Structure 1
Amino acid sequence: MKNIKKILFLATAFIAVKHLAQQTTSTYPIAKASKKHYNALYIINESDENKIKAIIKNVGNALEDPRLKGKLEVELLAFGGGVEMFKKDNSYELALTALKNKGVVMVMCENTLKEKKIAKSELFDFVNYTPSANGEIILREYEGWAVVKP
C-alpha cells in the first residue's frame, strides 16, 4: 500500500511539473526575416552620454541579430545635440569606427552645424552630411526605411 501511495504521489507530481513547464514555455512567434535586405535609420538629437552610448550599442545589436546579419543597411543620423557623438574631442571614435567598418553610414545635419557654428573639421573624417536631418528622415521613411530612435 505504501508503494502504491508513493507511485501515485510521484505520478501526480510528474504530471503537475510537466503541466507547469508547458504553461511557462513561450510559443510567441518572433519576427522572421523574409526579405533579402533591410534598411534602418537610427536617429539621435541628444547630447546625453548615456543616450549616445545606447544608440551605438543598439545599432551594434541590430547588426548582430542572426535574422538580420548580412541583410541590414544602417544609417546613423545625428542632429541637434547629437552632434556631440561625431565630434573629434569625445570618446566615441573607436565604437563608431567599429560600426563604420561593419558598413554603418554616419550622417550629420548641416543645419545643426550652421546653427551651432561647428566646422566640419571638428567632426570625424568618416562623417557624411545631409542638408537637413528632418528632410533625411522624411525621405528615408518614404523610401521604406525603418526609423529607429532608441
Structure 2
Amino acid sequence: MKQLTILAFLLLSVFTSAIAQTGEPKHKLVMQLNTSDTLIWKGLMNNLKNLKAGWGDSVKVEVVVHGPGVQFMMKDKTTQADKIAQFKKMGIDFVVCENTLRERKVSKDQLLPEAGFVKMGVGEIILKQEAGWSYIKL
C-alpha cells in the first residue's frame, strides 16, 4: 500500500509539472477599445502597465480595436505609439477589426507595425469569451 501511495504521488507530481510547463497563462483578458477618446487610451495604457507589473507573464492580454478606436492604432493619429510598441514586446496583442478598416477606408499600411488583424472585432471578443477569457470594455 505504501508503494502505491508513493507511485500515486510521483505520478501526480509529474502531471502537475507537465501542466506548469505548458506556459499557459493563469489569467486571460480581452479588452475592447472602440473609442477615439485619448483619455480612455491613456487609461488603457495604465491598466496594461498595472496588469503586467502585478501579474507579469501569468497574464495574457489581447486588445481588440474597432470602430472609432481604430485611430489608436493609426500611425498618424495615435498618441500611444511608443507604449504600444513596449507592450507588444511584453506579449500584449493589439488586433484591429478588418471590417472597421474596410468601412473607414483605412489601409493596413496606415497602422502601427504592432497591429494584428481579425475579421470581426466583436466576433473576436465573443470567441475569447467562449474560450474562457475575461472581458473588459473600455
TM-score range, shorter chain: 0.7 to 0.9
Q: How does 1:18-57 map to 2 (within 5 A)?
A: 37-57=26-46
Deviation at 1:69, TM superposition (A): 2.3
Higher relative contact order (CA 8 A, sep 6+): 2
Q: Secondary structure at the match of 2:39?
A: helix
C-alpha distance in 2 between matches for 1:36 and 1:146: 13
Task: Specify which of 123, 132, 137 is matched with residue 135 of structure 1.
Answer: 123
CA distance in 2, matches of 1:119, 1:36: 33
Q: What is the distance in 2 between the residues matched to 1:80 and 1:60?
A: 24
TM-score normalised according to structure 1 size: 0.72
CA contact (8 A) 1:42 1:59 kept: no
Greater radius of gyration (CA): 1
Aligned residues: 114
SS at match of 1:98: helix
Q: 2:64 is aligned with what amino acid?
A: L
1:36 to partner: Cα distance: 5.6
Aligned to 1:77, which of 60, 64, 75? 64
For 1:36 and 1:113, the matched residues in 2 are separated by 31
Report the RMSD for the aligned CA atoms in angstroms.
Answer: 1.4
Give the AA of the match of 2:35: E
2:47 to 58, 63, 76: 58
Structure in which a larger fraction of residues adopt helix: 2
Matched, 1:99 2:87: yes
